[in-house]
Every structure is written in structure tokens, then in C-alpha cells.
Structure 1
Amino acid sequence: MMFEMNSCFAQVVGVMCIVLLLGSVAECREVDGTLENLEYPAISCRKHSASLTDFGGVGDGKTSNTKAFQYAIGNLSNYGSDGGSLLVVPPGKWLTGSFNLTSHFTLFLHRDAIILASQDESEWPELDVLPSYGRGRDAPDGRFSSLIFGTNLTDVVVTGYNGTIDGQGSYCDIIIQGLTIVAPIDSPNTDGIDPDSCTNTRIEDCSIVTGDDCIAVKSGWDEYGIKFGMPSQHIVINRLTCSSPDSAMIALGSEMSGGIQDVRAENLTAIDTESAVRIKTAVGRGGYVKDIFVKGMNLINMKYVFWITGSYGSHPDNDFDPKALPDISGINYKDVTADYCNYTAKLEGIPNDPFKGICISNVSIASSDKKKLQWNCTDVEGVTSHVSPVPCELLPQKEEKKFDCPFPDEKLPIESVMLKTCSLTSA
């Protein structure tokens, strides 16, 4: 897997980082304890390399390697302007607390390498709050660091041949590819992938089972997110499989005060999931969610297919602006099939701030209970076409046979980013 990091905030299963990409890699060969002919996909190849054992790492699953990781990355950061560096995590179980990555850097996990998150709280320092949030949710005056994290980074890759990063939990150009995330379905706050204030992001070929949103796009919280003003935009999500009985396959918000725009999601599968693509916002959020395009959803055993919430109202403090209303517009869904669903849609706008430009076309939904009211719509405006069951009156059906909701034909620049195959041959 590989993280590409730029100046945005993202959380991936508790990992604070900016980009994650998982791709196929050729396995390196081990000869007399050394690694040679190591190949991996990357945007940039590295000039310098080292092994964690060169810095005192011990892979017995018991010895703390927090200082070894910090020492190794600190030393390798000196090569950022000289071709960059690569740190190999060899076979073993590498117990560690939180460590910070550096720019122009690759972390490579061997096939039999397991990074184990320490259960010692002293190895998880508190960090300052994100400026777009105002306060931390984990700690009174900040937030706990994630296992692998970084801020304001450029050109960072975490990759390997199916190595493992185990959090041991009981409960920009950004590419996230081929990632599998599994968490207990009853575990709280276990979002899979959270691009937060990120631009040019590609998430593809991922499978996620979790107790919270499989993917949650965010951009800051109330007055802090409005002031910081860094949106999440130009995001592509393709070939996602999700199972989350209590949350969404893709959530937009609820922290969206810096804005969310131009999200393109297609080829989506959700099974035993509360909702498909859910927009979450509230009075006081401000910001916007607009130009959202969803195409090709296959859904089985859902509570809701379409769900937009205008009253998702937790706030960081009492200083939020009650006049800061969100702009929700240009929301497009097409080509959806769903079986065993409780409700087709719950679309709840905000009084005096209706959510506009909702378009739904070519949809066939089989309800698990045909006696229930399938559409619940308030304070929304839009159109539908070829949708079954019959939509609510606020979303009248177009009569034109060829009417279809839009999905952009032009590709975003992030979609054309290609990976090289880099090699490392040990001396």
C-alpha cells in the first residue's frame, strides 16, 4: 500500500496522513538477511535506502520500536533534497507507538512485516488541534496522534507486498488503491478513509467493513472550518465495496464547513449498510456540498438508499454562527439498483434553506416492506427520471425518455497519474 501526501488532512483507519495507495508490487528477495531486487510502484523513485534494523529496530513483537522509527526517519529526512529516501521494514513484528513521516520518503513493508500499534498510552502523544476544527474530539486540549501520521508533507509513499499495519484495536495528489479495511461492525468512530480538506484525490479498488462510514469526506467544523477555508474537492471514488450496518458507504460531512465540491463516485457496492451516499450538515455549518456525481450503485439490504440530513448538529462549542447556512446543490445520482431496502429516500433540507438541484435517474429499488412510506422529502428541490418506486412530489419525474442525470465526461488530472516501477538492489 502507498500513501502520497500533500498539504491536506486525512485519516485512514486511525492513521493521520494525506495519501494512501495500495498497489501490486513485486516481492523482494532475501539473501543472507539482506533485501535485494526490491520493486515497488511509486510516483518518485528514491536515491537512498536503509533498513529499520540499521537504527536498532527489534522485530520480536515485544520491544518498542518507537525511537527506532523516529531515529530512522529523522536521519533519512536529511536526503529529502538529494533524491529522497526509502526505509525498509523487514520481516518481523515491529511494536511501535506513533511516528511522524517526512517528505520525499517511502516506507516499505516486507511481506512478513507487521507494524503493531503499541498499547502504551505514553507512546501516543497529544497534538495541537487542527486549525479547521477549533478543538479536539479525543482530548480536552488537542487530539491524540495517529499511528502513522504527517502534516504539510509532499511525496510520501507507504507501500509493500501485503505487509500489515495492525492497530490492535478491540473496537495534493492523493491515491488510495487496493486497500482492505476490516473493523468490528459494532465499533464506534471507525471510519475507513477520511479525506479532510484534500484536493485531487483518487480512491479505488477498496473493500471496507467497519462500524462507521466507509468513506467520509470532510473539510472542517463550523466557524473553524469556515475561517480555515480549505475545501475537499476533485475527488474520485471508483470500485468501492462497503459493509457498515450503522453508517454510510460514502458520507459527505458532517464537518464540511470549508466546502466539498466535485466528488465523482461510480461502481459502488454496499451490503448490509445503513445508507449509500449520505450528505450530513446542519445550521451553523456554513460551507457547501455541491457538484456531487454518483453513478452505478449496487445495493443489498440497506436502511436507506438516498439520505440527506440537514440537522446533523453537533458543534465544537457555542461560538458557531447560527446564521451560517450550508449550500447543498447539484447532487446527482444515476444507475442504481437496490434489493431488500427499508426506505428509498429520506431527504431532509433546512427550512428557508432548501437543498437544490437534486437529480435522480434510472433507479430500481425493491423494498423489504412495501407498506412503508418509501420517500420522505422536506425542503428539497430537484427532478427524477425512470425511478421506482414513485418519488415524492418535491422531486417530480421528467417525461423525456432520454433524460439522464449528468456525470462528467472529462477526466480529472488525478485520474491520469501513472505509477512507475522502482527498483532497489542491495550491494
Structure 2
Amino acid sequence: MNFSLLFFLLNLPYWVCLLHPETKKNAGNNYRNSIFCFSFFSFLSMLQLSEMVMAIVVVVLLATTKGVKSRKAREDLDYFEYCAMSCRAHSASLAEFGGVGDGSTSNTKAFQAAINHLSQYQSDGGAQLFVPPGKWLTGSFNLTSHFTLYLHKDAVLLASQESEWPVIEPLPSYGRGRDTDGGRFISLIFGTNLTDVVVTGDNGTIDGQGELWWQKFKKGELKYTRPYLIEIMYSENIQISNLTLINSPSWNVHPVYSSNVLVQGITILAPVTSPNTDGINPDSCTNTKIEDCYIVSGDDCIAVKSGWDQYGIAFGMPTKQLVIRRLTCISPFSAVIALGSEMSGGIQDVRAENILAIDSESGVRIKTAVGRGGFVKDIYVRGVTMKTMKWAFWMTGNYGSHADNGYDPNALPVIQNINYHDMVAENVTMAAKLEGIPGDPFTGICISNVTITLAKKAKKLPWNCTDVAGISSGVVPQACGLLVDQGPSNVAACNFPEESLPIDNVQVQVCSYRRKHL
């Protein structure tokens, strides 16, 4: 079969989706359309494609799907529709506050003036700020409650350099910056103690222009920890959706100390050699959903966190009730989904399914160490397709990097009830590297219905297990002896919870923007 015919057949289900009567019927309900279309990710992942072809198909599908789910056919800049958790009664454009989208004029003051002005409508139906087509250079700006920031598809936020990034205190659950002792540069888009905030668009772009920051990090020239692109703290009812984030100085999306968080339809792109450009890092958050995201990263695509050593233990705020669905990840030097290593406040009840991993170091990784304390438990992962991996599964009990010398060497992490089910992996160097902590084993590990095809130059021993305990069933190649084989009759072990989490009951609605001069 030639490539053209193959590509046509691959895209045929997607076009059937777009032309389906139900899709036409619900043309105004973009959210349902997007879910209907994204269901074909599983179709793509089952095909025996090379990694390059798979990546191309996924990128094309994501790009076209975003156009369907967040735009009405009308291209009028004075009126359009989009989907959000909350709609707004008042509207304004950045251009009304002196914004200039020429790529060189600073818009930091324009953004903050617009948001400060719109904050007066918090108790009057809220407000939305529209960023029109253009290249909008800006430093950091702060969000407000009952507020929507919307980026047009041809809008690009360009992050300015160091002079426009204020320095703030380190996170209390970390005790210091991640790059240096002391403070940290504030994120490009920042908010704290907020309620009901939406950062969305029609696949508009946020460009962190991170090359300068990466070079400073590599050369040891940073005075403070690098900024993130989006960070929202101590907040609730947060939506971040339908955007493309590129070249972040460090982490891309960082909800922290927050609840009811929806991250949806995000594309994140960074050079695979860029340092610490994690995709999405839910940190000490409750009730979070991440779905329909495509990430190419120099670090973990998703890193679940909850504080660092004694600071995280003292702060005591776990990440729990986290859903991850329909994620595509390329991360040659790190994990698709990482739990830790900063997990000292605890991580519990994480559910991940329908994951496609391409050319990544490991599929699911648990990272911890003596001195971390905390726990990682009740983890459920199913429906994962992996292509070209170093490890399918990786657990590390000796992950170093302490905040300082004040950590408690008697603070041992608890790792238990870890469940992996229904997975297929191809071209894998080593099936698993599971290393617990001597005297503090990782327990309750369950792996079932997993088929791993090893690479031609694979390790002689496909499984390396120490200080772990659990069961396995229907695993090829057969799991290590510490994961006791239950036989084919128990292949349904490692069951995924059937009850939904509260975040799944959060509904989005069709909202509209109508330009009004305020």
C-alpha cells in the first residue's frame, strides 16, 4: 500500500466524524464535537505505523480538530463563540487599552490595565478579554476572578525577557526555587486566590522565547528560578484550554494548591533537549482533569507533584482525584507520566487512560527517595500504546536532588496499590526497571494484560525488580518473580475504578464574545 492511500485511510474516520449528522446537528456544541472526534485516537494507536508517520497523523488531527471545537464558522472579530466553564457578561479587546501587536512594543501595561479595569465586573457577570491577531510582546501579568482570557487563532503572546519578570517568594511546599536558592521569577500568566478563571482561545499561541533562559540555566548564570508560562495558585474552578504553548523557559502549565481544574485541548511544544520544560504539572491539586493534549517536551509530559522533602511534608497538601485522558506524548529523555519526584505531600487516586507514547524514555514513572516522605497510592493506568521506549515501566526509590540538607532521613515514602492494565509497547529496550527502597518496599503493584515487544538491541534481562511486591497476569515477556504470576484466569486483575470523579461532572457551555467599548 502506498503512503498516499494509507494516509487517506487513516484520515477517513475523522472526515466521517466531521460529516456525521450528529456533528452537523450539534454544530454549535463544539465540546461534544471535539470529544466525538478525539475518540479516533484509539484507532490511530492500534495501527502498525512508524513513529514518524504516527507523529504526523496526530499533529494533523489535533490541528484540524481544534478548529472544529472552538470556532463558529463566522470569522468576525467582533463576535464569536467558544466553550467554557463560565460565560461572561462584559467584553473588551486588548487593543482598547493601548495594546500594539507588532512583536516589538511591550504590552505588559496594556494587559494589566485591561485586567484591572475588567476586574470591576467580578460581581456583575464577569468579563472577558480578547487578544486579537498580532504578535503581543509582554512581561508577566496577573489574572482576576470571574474572568476569561481569549486568544484569537492568529494571536501570539511573546514573552519578554528578564527585566519584565518580577521575583516572588518560593512556593512554601518547596522551600526554595527549583533552579536556585531563594526566590523565583513570576510566571508569564499568573493568578493567586482566584475563583472562576478561563484561559482559552482558538488555538492561539503563547511563546515563552525560552532559548535565553535555557542557556542561562546550562551556564549556571541564573539568579532566580526560571518562570513558567501559566501558574495559578490557591484557586478554584480553573480552565486552561485550546491553546498552543511553545518554548517555555521551564514548566508550561502549573496549577498549584488549587481545586476543580480543567486542562483540555492543549498543544505543548519544546525542543527535546530543552531543560525542565515539563508539559503539565498538577501540584497539590484536588479534582483535576487533563485531556486531549499533545505534548513534545524536554522533560516529563505530565509530572504530578505535591512538595519537596520537609517543606512538602509540613505543608501537607496532596494531589488527589486526577484524571488524564487521551494524551499523546513525545519525550525522548523523560517520562510520559511521572509521579514525583516532589511528592512529599502525597499523591492519591490518579486515573490515566487512552495514552499514546512515542519515542519516550519511559511510559509511567514513579520517582521518590529516602527523605521525601509522603505517599503515592491508588494509581490506575490503562489503555496505553507505547512505541520506541527505553522502559515501559520505571519506579525509582533512589531519586536524589534534595531541597537542602535539612531533610529527614527517616522520612520514607509509601508506594502502594499501583495498577497497570491493557497496554501494548513496541521497540522497547527494557520492559521494566522497578527499584524500591531497601527496608521500605513498594507494594501492591499489579500489572495485567500487557504485551511488550523488545527492540533488537534490548537488554538481556527484560525485567529488573528489587524491593517491590505485587502480582502480574497476562504479561509478555513474563514479569519478574517479585510480581507473582496469577495465571491467565486472573487477567482482569488491576481493575480501573468505575465510579467517576467530581471533575467529570463539570459541564462546559457555549459562550460568546461580542465586542463592547467599555
Q: 1:78 aligns with which of 120, 139, 143?
A: 120
Match of 2:266 in 1: 179
Verify: 1:395 aligned to 2:483, yes or no. Answer: yes
SS at structure 1 position matched to 2:195 = coil
Gaps of 5+ in 1: 3-21
Higher helix proportion: 2
Q: Deviations over 1:330-375 (max 9, x none)?
A: 0000111111101011100011111110000001111114561111
- Return the match for 2:296 from 196, 209, 230: 209
Aligned to 2:364: 277
CA contact (8 A) 1:59 1:92 kept: yes
1:418 corresponds, among 486, 494, 507, to 507
Q: Tell me, what secondary structure is at the counterpart of 1:306?
A: strand
How far did residue 144 of structure 1 move? 1.1
Alignment of 1:249-328 (within 5 A): 249-328=336-415
| Higher mean C-alpha displacement, 290-299 vs 132-141 | 132-141
TM-score (norm 1): 0.91
Q: Which residue in 1 is equivalent to 2:308?
A: 221
**Comparing 368-377 and 177-186, the one that deviates more:** 368-377
Deviations 1:59-110 (A, max 9, x none): 1111000111111112212221221111111111110011111111100111
Q: Which residue, 138, 146, 166 being the options, matches 1:125? A: 166
2:469 corresponds to which residue?
381
Question: Residue by residue, what CA displacement relative to the aligned partner does 1:165-205 show, whole Å, maximum 9, x if unpaired?
Answer: 11122351111111111110111101011111111111111
Question: How much is the aligned-residue C-alpha RMSD, in angstroms?
Answer: 1.8
Letter in 2 for 1:374: P
Any conservation in 2 of the 1:28–1:37 contact (CA below 8 Å)?
no
Whether the 8 Å CA contact 2:108–2:139 is kept in 1: the answer is yes
**Matching residue of 1:366:** 453
Amino acid at match of 2:513: L
Q: Unaligned stretches of 5+ in structure 2?
A: 1-29, 32-65, 215-258
Is this contact kept in 2: 1:29–1:36, CA < 8 A? no
In structure 2, do the counterparts of structure 1 residues 177 and 305 end up closer, same or farther at CA, with 3 Å as the change threshold? same
Shift of 1:426: 3.4
**Cα distance, 1:400 vs. partner?**
5.3
**Consecutive aligned runs of 4 or more in structure 1 exceeding 4 Å deviation:** 27-31
Give the alignment partner of residue 100 of structure 1, picking from 123, 142, 154.
142
User: Which amino acid counterpart does residue 195 of structure 2 have in structure 1?
Assistant: T
Q: Matched residues in 1 for 2:108 and 2:378: separation? A: 43
Matched, 1:26 2:71: yes
- Are 2:101 and 1:59 equivalent residues in the alignment? yes
What letter matches 1:325 in structure 2? L
The residue type equivalent to 1:340 in the other structure is N
| Distance in structure 2 (CA, Å) of the matches to 1:424 and 1:189 | 36
TM-score, normalising length from structure 2?
0.76
Name 1:405's counterpart in structure 2: 494
Q: CA deviation at 1:29?
A: 5.4
After alignment, is 384-393 or 22-31 more displaced?
A: 22-31
Closer, same or farther in 2 for the Cα pair 1:364/1:128, shift >3 Å? same
Range moving further from structure 2, 295-304 or 68-77: 68-77
Structure 2 letter corresponding to 1:161: D
How many percent identity over aligned positions? Answer: 66
Aligned match of 1:137 in 169, 175, 178?
178
User: 2:477, 2:147 → 1: CA distance?
Assistant: 52
Which one has the bigger strand percentage?
Answer: 1
CA deviation profile, 1:299-354 (whole Å, cap 9, x unmatched): 11100011000011211111111111001000000111111101011100011111
Q: Quick one: distance in 2 between partners of 1:30 and 1:183?
A: 30
Give 1:140 shift.
3.2
Higher relative contact order (CA 8 A, sep 6+): 1
Q: Which residue of 1 aligns with 2:153?
A: 111
Give the match for residue 218 of structure 2.
none
Distance verdict in 2 for CA 1:370–1:122, change over 3 Å: closer
Secondary structure of residue in 1 paired with 2:354? strand
Residue identity opposite 1:65 in structure 2: N
Matched, 1:39 2:81: yes
Letter in structure 2 aligned against 1:59: G
Superposed displacement of residue 37, structure 1: 2.5
Name the amino acid aligned to 1:219.
S
State the Cα deviation string for residues 230-283 of structure 1 (Å, max 9, x = none): 111100001111111100000000000010000000111111100001000000
Per-residue CA deviations over 1:353-407 (Å, capped at 9, x if unaligned) read: 1111000000111111456111111110100001111211111100351442111
Q: Report the counterpart of residue 256 of structure 2 in structure 1.
A: none
Give the corresponding residue for 2:200: 159
Could you tell me which residue of structure 2 aligns to residue 17 of structure 1?
none
TM-aligned CA distance change 1:139 to 1:153, over 3 Å: farther
